[in-house]
Amino acid sequence: MPPAQWGPLDANISMLFTELPMLSRPAAAAAAGFTAVEAWWPFGAAVPGDAEVTAFERAVRDAGVQLVALNGFAGDMPAGERGILSWPGRQQEFLDNLDVLLGIGARLDCRRFNLLYGNRVDDAGGDAAGGSAAQDELAVENLTVAARAARRAGAVVVLEPLSALPRYPLRTSSDVLGVLNRLPADCADAARLLADLYHLRVNGEDIPAMLDRVHARIGHVQVADVPGRHEPGTGTADLDGWVAALRRLGYLGWIGLEYAPLDGTAAGLGRLGLGGGTVPSSAQQS
């Protein structure tokens, strides 16, 4: 079945519509037919200025789209950092960012927050094993605080495996569930797996078996084809079958299109039967 029949789809505006500046992308997504978007942390700092936050919120609100998922601050992404949840010495930065993240969620009615775990660091204390254990303890502490805050807000936090990052320790669904299973019982419904089917498949996960096993603990889903991380249909992944299995198993939530367009956003959406084949001219650059 074509992606248009997969059920509710959202556009990840950190990977799509990159021909435009961030503040123009929500309107571009709306003009392409999307009713919902998601984004990586759209600011350069864990605690951005009020004007930056207001401008982003206005761009989403004015576009008339729903922000359905938002990443927390992930550190210096171009330098390879992938989150600060488990980083010693950055706990206050994490907590300060959590306050901003939840504030944006409250104002835009966003109820899913992706908290990247963070790479292993050399100065976490003790030997390699001891340092890893210290990071994992800190991650559980921080994730407990975040899950409880999200639950009070009627939201969930999600945790995802990543690929192609040798120092990032969460690579499979079992890795993520191993963290989630350490949380207190009152956090169970507020902390879930982000099933990024691209990362999981690249890391060797048997996707149908994984979905059968853990579907009840999935809080959000993202897709891209394998290999290449481009739009569905450009690789060999059985995305149709995987999405059909998700729906059959009862996952009714959003599926985020989080791929790198092979030939630009417009061409990719056209290939999927979405978006009309152009980057909308109504989304003016700013």
Q: Is 258 designated active site?
A: yes
Burial class (CB in 10 A: 0-12, 13-18, 19+), 165: middle
Q: Which of 81, 160, 205, 231 is catalytic?
A: 160
Q: Where are the strands (E) in 151-204, listed by range?
A: 156-159, 191-196
Residues 6+ apart with CB under 8 A from 65: 26, 29, 30, 34, 35, 36, 37
- Cα–Cα dist 200/107, whole Å: 32
Residue 20 — φ and ψ, nearest 5°?
A: -115, 155
Cβ of 15: how many Cβ atoms within 10 Å?
A: 20
Based on the residue annotation, tell me whether 57 is a catalytic residue of this protein. no
Structure tokens, 188: 């169970």
Q: Of 81, 205, 231, 258, which one is the catalytic site residue?
A: 258
Q: Is 5 exposed, middle or buried, given 0-12, 13-18 or 19+ CB atoms closer than 10 A?
A: exposed
Residues tagged active-site: 160, 258
